[in-house]
Amino acid sequence: MKLDRAAILTIVLVFGAALVMAALNQMTPPASAMHVPTYVIALAGKYLCFAMLALAVDLVWGFAGILSLGHAAFFALGGYAMGMYLMRQIGDRGVYGNPNLPDFMVFLGWKQLPWYWHGFEWFGFAMLMVVLVPGVLAAVFGWLAFRSRVTGVYLSIITQALTYALLLAFFRNDMGFGGNNGMTDFKAILGFNIQADSTRSALLVISALFLCGQFLLARFVVGSRFGKILIAVRDTESRTRFLGYRPESYKLVVWVLSAVMAGIGGALYVPQVGIINPSEFAPGNSIEAVIWVAVGGRGTLVGAILGAILVNFGKTWFTSVLPELWLYALGAMFILVTLFLPRGVVGLFRRRSRLEPEPEVPAASAAQEVTG
Amino acid sequence: MLRLLALLLLLLCGPLVAHADDPLAELASGSFDTVRQGVEDLAQSGNPNAAKILSALQNGQLYYLPDHTLLIQADDGSYANAITGKAVSDDDAEARSVRINNSIRSVLDAALGSLRLFDPNPSVRLNAAGAVFDAHQPAAIPALDRALAKETDSAVKTRMQQARAAAVLSDPGAAQDARLAAVPVLRARGDEAARGVLASVADQPGPVGAAAKAAVASIDRVLQLWSLAQSVYYGISLGSVLLLAAAGLAITFGVMGVINMAHGEMVMLGAYTTFVVQQVMHAYVPSLYGGSLLVAIPMAFLVAGLIGVVIERSLIRWLYGRPLETLLATWGLSLVLQQVVRSLFGADNRNVTTPDWMSGATQLGGLTLTWNRTYIILFAFLVMAALMAALRYTPLGLRMRAVTQNRRMAAAMGIRTPWIDALTFGLGSGVAGIAGVALSQIDNVSPNLGQGYIIDSFMVVVFGGVGNLWGTTLGALTLGIVNKFLEPIAGAVLGKIVVLVLLILFVQRNPRGMFPLKGRAVEA
Amino acid sequence: MSEGDTLLYLDGVTVTFDGFRALNALSLVLEQGEMRAVIGPNGAGKTTMMDVITGKTRPDTGKVMFGKDTDLTRLDEPAIASLGIGRKFQKPTVFEPHTVWDNLLLALAGDRAPRFTLFARQTADEKRRIEQILETTRLTDVRHRAAADLSHGQKQWLEIGMLLAQEPQLLLVDEPVAGMTDAETEQTAVLLREINRTRSVVVVEHDMAFVRALDVKVTVLNEGSVLAEGPIDLVSDDPKVIEVYLGR
């Protein structure tokens, strides 16, 4: 696989910046002008996790034409799997000091650990679940949806319903995932103090590593013959069928891959923000992830990463300086980008590339697609 | 010697026999059994002070002296003779309280109940008969018989007969014929209480038990039907709310194919219009305040409709044929609209009042119908009917259908398709605004009002079959009823989750809904 | 000819859309190696017939057999395509963002499973076959251009090239010369005859000059069933045909 300049630049920037920030945090004294405070490290780590989610959304939306309005669900499921491991790591350091049960279970008067919590005390098992839970859910959902040729906005709406159903489910106390409050007060990860600056720095570097890995994997997929077929499916699905391809298999593969990528993002997100709760399933979160991709440039992997970081940086800035204006800004971003910037920020810098979408569809035929 | 013994016995038993005849003396006793007997006897004695004494006993204010004189303690702690009412100056040490236990308490309830059966006020008698029914003590039968003989009010009489039947049936010592005759009376009453009395004797051997068992089964069937009907009513009520929320979407999404994620915000704007209309009317024309909702309906239609036209002209028309982009842009719009409302009205819930003619409830057989829900059901169907009529019979409706069926042909025939687009979108938005007026009556009016409905609305439209108003109606009602039937089994939240999952599975099996449009266009 | 030589066999095929009979007890037999032209007025059911053969539309009743014993009504589009039935659409549909070369690469007969295509590398054999098709369809000069940038005629040819790359036994070609210049039309007729040397072809076409140039057996469809069948000269003299189609 040959890497173009933009790809190399992305990897160098992402990984290099993470490494430099971590090093400055660790090696300079807090008083130094060069010092990077730990909250910035955590923030940067969060952005990188969002970038993984954006990459996942872009893979299905930009290259397979599946607009998922429920991708945050996979992100949150990965996060919950990690959260369960971190809860088990608390041991008897919880408020109630119960060595076997997380605090919220003691609070609910539960006597023993539910069966589905077993195994999460092992890091390896938890990491397996980070991959398996979103992957299996995506496989079942995708198999049903793609096989019956649910496409376009219909698919978008049911992905939204999926994350909405999960949101309601995780709000329930008797689900055994901490209900409304979710899971928090984590103490340690793999034996390291989760609050320590060194742990935070390490998590940032690991996030950068995973993001670069996902980026390379996504590039490999998109650049392969598989990827070309995927784009063919995106633009003219029926034509690929008459060539003997099964679009549903192609969509399913990329859908599951994307869900797993989102899940890994979520798993890295939880130790860095220190909490996971059902609000991560809110439909609005999934749609926000879509706008990151749209801002950066749909169908360009670099754009997804750039968009996630740009928009979230904007969000951090706005919510601290002009909190009441953030929703206006976000809303305006949705509108302006779709109207005036269909190729996103990356599109501004790049002449038309053969991998990019063809947004111009004659009105009549598309109207038929919906109403017909 | 024998005689002497007999005399002695007589002397010993004398007071006991005397006590058995005098209920007041029985009450003045430390033995629960004797007191209970006293209560029953007093109730039937016809003693004019019976009600007063028994009430005092119930309130723990009945005392007795060692000489079996009954005293009633007033609230200030002073004592008075229970019969004469004269004040008695006595030490607390001398007077002992008449103690009661649960068994006495239930006898007491029945006794007091049967005493009130003779009250001059029919409504008191009706309540008393009800109380006697609930206690269903065999001891009350004589009192009931006497009361029945005098009773003239037919409602009270029926209730007394039911109470008597309950008492007879509960008396294992009563004649079998009488008990058998009591069964149909209770069955005719047919509610939970009657069922309880019947069920308590249903496992007794013999014909009475069998008859009671059959009666219980029959009442159960009837009660089940009523509860079924109640669930259906709740279901239709929820369905009508869904229908209102989805009606506008059935136009913008169903007919035009525009994915308007800000649809919920049009509903929200309708609700806030209601709030503003109520505030203005309260301030300037308080006399017409009761009709504020009727004013709010056209206002909400205009406000939401106009905003809809503006949205179509400024945003959506640039995005025709790009449904996914439309979805994103309108989602952004929904954020902006929410924030605008939050800035103008604050983030808290706004109080929209319910007019008097919409509050309260009515009873229809075993059904409880609340007026606001009933009006909303009627209103939802009215809106749907008006919408269908508008599409079918008005010139605008004709043009709308022409444009959606064949845009180019319609344009060629001189129809100004851009304006039709704008008006259609305005119509859908206006209907959403009307829905907001109705929803302001049952939901919190807050900037987030619309978000709660958007997913449900889309599911309703997709479930019913896009572009089909009948399908939308049936889809909404089906979802409402299924939801309400799942609720008792699974709980409210889990029920909703189950419905969502079922819907997801349904849409995956039938991507075009329950009533898909057929034709070559679908295949193309 | 013996029955073993029958390639495609439609019998009593009926398709209704909302009460409208698009195909009405249509029967058609195509021999191995045959080229057939199908003509008929608008709405005669030509495209629906193609849809039925390629699995896009399921018939309400009737039999559709491919070869001796493959029932096409039980299969979906990819399965039918893999059997060796290729289809060219009325409107040229090629993969616009991809280059001409990639379009052909994706169409080349071979493994269609994701696990293969994910790791597939272009082989020397594939390269040779693509070059050959580029030669046949005269697209060698534009092989690195995006399909979106081709002229209308070039897109039609690219689509025919993609059909060839599929190496089908049977080609269904829907209005291949619509919108082509006269010279292009002529070349297309030559190309189709060339293809017909190794494969069976069904051509749906409006252009009578083109049908005449093909010089093959013609089936005339009207209102969902076969109105007439035979050589073009015979068919065009048939009064029924003149009335419904040529006369108008």
Compare A42 and B359 and report the one with higher pLDDT. Answer: A42
pLDDT value, residue B518: 47
**Residue B12, pLDDT above cutoff 70:** no
Write out pLDDT tens, residues A25-40.
Answer: 999 888 888 899 999 9
Of B88-97, B124-133, B187-196, the one with minimum mean pLDDT is B88-97
Write out pLDDT tens, residues B288-309.
Answer: 888 889 999 999 999 999 999 9
Cβ-based burial of A330 (10 A; exposed 0-12, middle 13-18, buried ≥19):
buried
Tokens of A15: 């990984």
CB contact under 8 Å between C119 and A224, yes or no, is yes
* Residue C245: pLDDT band with limits 50, 70, 90: low
pLDDT value, residue C248: 47
Average pLDDT over residues B155-169: 86
Q: Strands, E, within A108-203: which ranges? A: 183-184, 188-189, 192-193
Measured at the CA of A326, the angle between CA A325 and CA A330, to 5 degrees, comes to 120
Q: CA of C206 to nearest chain A CA: how many angstroms apart?
A: 23
**CB contacts, 8 Å: A362 with chain B:** 321
Tokens of A316: 């951090």
Nearest CA in chain C to B516: C18
pLDDT value, residue C101: 94
A254 neighbors A64 (Cβ within 8 angstroms): yes
Using a CB–CB cut-off of 8 Å, the residues of C that contact B are: 17-18, 20, 22, 51, 56-57
Write out pLDDT tens, residues B267-278.
Answer: 999 999 999 999
**Residue B13, pLDDT above cutoff 60:** no
* Beta-bridge partners for C221: C226
* Beta-bridge partners for C99: C146
Q: In this structure, is residue C239 part of a structural domain? A: yes
Q: Which of B508, B512, B522 to mutate to test the interface with A (most CBs of A within 10 A)?
A: B508
Which chains are within 8 Å of A by 3+ CB pairs? B, C
Average pLDDT over residues C172-181: 84
Q: Which helix (H) or strand (E) holds B205?
A: none
Write out pLDDT tens, residues A143-158.
Answer: 988 988 888 888 888 8
pLDDT value, residue A271: 96
Distance (Å, whole) CA B291 – CA B268: 21
Asked if the C-beta of A354 comes within 8 angstroms of chain C's C-beta atoms, the answer is: yes
Of A1-15, A151-165, A302-316, B74-88, the one with minimum mean pLDDT is B74-88
Nearest to B455 among A283, A327, A328 (CB): A283
User: Could you tell me which residues come within 8 angstroms of residue B175 by beta carbon, excluding any fewer than 6 positions away?
Assistant: none
For the ranges A97-101, B224-228, B294-298, B479-483, the maximum mean pLDDT occurs at: B294-298
**CB contacts, 8 Å: B517 with chain A:** 371-372
Containing structural domain, residue C169: 6-246
Q: How many residue pairs bridge chain A and chain C with CB atoms within 8 Å of each other?
A: 80
State how far the alpha carbon of A243 is from the alpha carbons of A36, A156, B501, C83, C146, in Å. Answer: 55, 27, 34, 11, 19
Contacts 24+ apart (CB under 8 A), B502-506: B503/A158, B503/A161, B503/B459, B503/B463, B503/B479, B504/A141, B504/A158, B504/A161, B504/A162, B504/A165, B505/A144, B506/B463
* Residue C102: pLDDT band with limits 50, 70, 90: very high
CB contact under 8 Å between A232 and C148, yes or no, is no
Q: Coil, strand or helix: which one is C6?
A: strand
Nearest CA in chain B to A341: B325
Measured at the CA of B399, the angle between CA B398 and CA B400, to 5 degrees, comes to 90
Average pLDDT over residues C92-109: 91
Q: What is the mean pLDDT of chain B?
A: 83
Q: Coil, strand or helix: which one is C28?
A: strand
**CB contacts, 8 Å: C117 with chain A:** 224-226, 229
**CB contacts, 8 Å: B339 with chain A:** 324, 327-328, 331
Asked if the C-beta of B3 comes within 8 angstroms of chain C's C-beta atoms, the answer is: no
Pairing of strands C85-88, C170-174: parallel
Q: CA of A226 to nearest chain C CA: how many angstroms apart?
A: 5
Distance (Å, whole) CA B113 – CA B137: 10
CB contact under 8 Å between A367 and B329, yes or no, is no
A11-70 residues touching B, CB cutoff 8 A: 67, 69
Distance (Å, whole) CA C15 – CA C58: 8
User: Could you tell me which residues come within 8 angstroms of residue B146 by beta carbon, excluding any fewer than 6 positions away?
Assistant: B118
B489-518 residues touching C, CB cutoff 8 A: 518
SS (H, E, C) C217-238: EEEEEECCEEEEEEEHHHHHHC
**Residue B218, pLDDT above cutoff 60:** yes
Write out pLDDT tens, residues A59-76.
Answer: 999 999 999 999 999 999
CB contact under 8 Å between C97 and A235, yes or no, is yes
* Residue B522: pLDDT band with limits 50, 70, 90: very low
Distance (Å, whole) CA A118 – CA C137: 63
**Residue B510, pLDDT above cutoff 90:** no
Q: How many residue pairs bridge chain B and chain C with CB atoms within 8 Å of each other?
A: 12
Q: Strands, E, within chain A: which ranges? A: 183-184, 188-189, 192-193, 275-276
For chain C, what is the domain count? 1
Residue A96 CB: number of other CB atoms within 10 A? 13
Which chains are within 8 Å of B by 3+ CB pairs? A, C
Compare C206 and B521 and report the one with higher pLDDT. Answer: C206
pLDDT value, residue A302: 93
**Residue A211, pLDDT above cutoff 80:** yes
Average pLDDT over residues B405-429: 87
Q: Does ipTM exceed 0.90?
A: no
pLDDT value, residue B48: 73
Q: In this structure, is residue C223 part of a structural domain? A: yes
For the ranges A46-50, B344-348, B394-398, B424-428, the maximum mean pLDDT occurs at: A46-50
Q: What is the mean pLDDT of chain A?
A: 89
pLDDT value, residue B1: 55
Q: In this structure, is residue C1 part of a structural domain? A: no
Compare B380 and B195 and report the one with higher pLDDT. Answer: B380
Give the whole-number percent of chain B exceeding pLDDT 90.
20
Q: Which helix (H) or strand (E) holds C85?
A: strand C85-88
pLDDT value, residue B172: 80
**CB contacts, 8 Å: B322 with chain A:** 338, 359, 361, 366
Q: What are phi and psi of B205, to 5 degrees?
A: -70, 165
Nearest to B343 among A156, A324, A331 (CB): A324
C172 neighbors C53 (Cβ within 8 angstroms): yes
* Residue B136: pLDDT band with limits 50, 70, 90: confident
B244 neighbors B456 (Cβ within 8 angstroms): no
Average pLDDT over residues A346-370: 47
Write out pLDDT tens, residues A159-192.
Answer: 988 999 999 999 988 888 998 899 999 999 998 9
Q: In this structure, is residue C18 part of a structural domain? A: yes
* Residue B55: pLDDT band with limits 50, 70, 90: confident
* Among candidate residues A198, A337, A318, the one with its CA nearest the CA of residue B331: A337
**CB contacts, 8 Å: B520 with chain C:** 17, 20, 22
Average pLDDT over residues A121-136: 96
**CB contacts, 8 Å: B452 with chain A:** none
The domain that contains C224 carries what CATH number? 3.40.50.300
Distance (Å, whole) CA A126 – CA A123: 5
Compare A265 and C235 and report the one with higher pLDDT. Answer: A265
Average pLDDT over residues B93-103: 78
pLDDT value, residue B509: 74
Asked if the C-beta of B523 comes within 8 angstroms of chain C's C-beta atoms, the answer is: yes
* Among candidate residues B21, B39, B27, B182, the one with its CA nearest the CA of residue B113: B39
Q: In this structure, is residue C62 part of a structural domain? A: yes
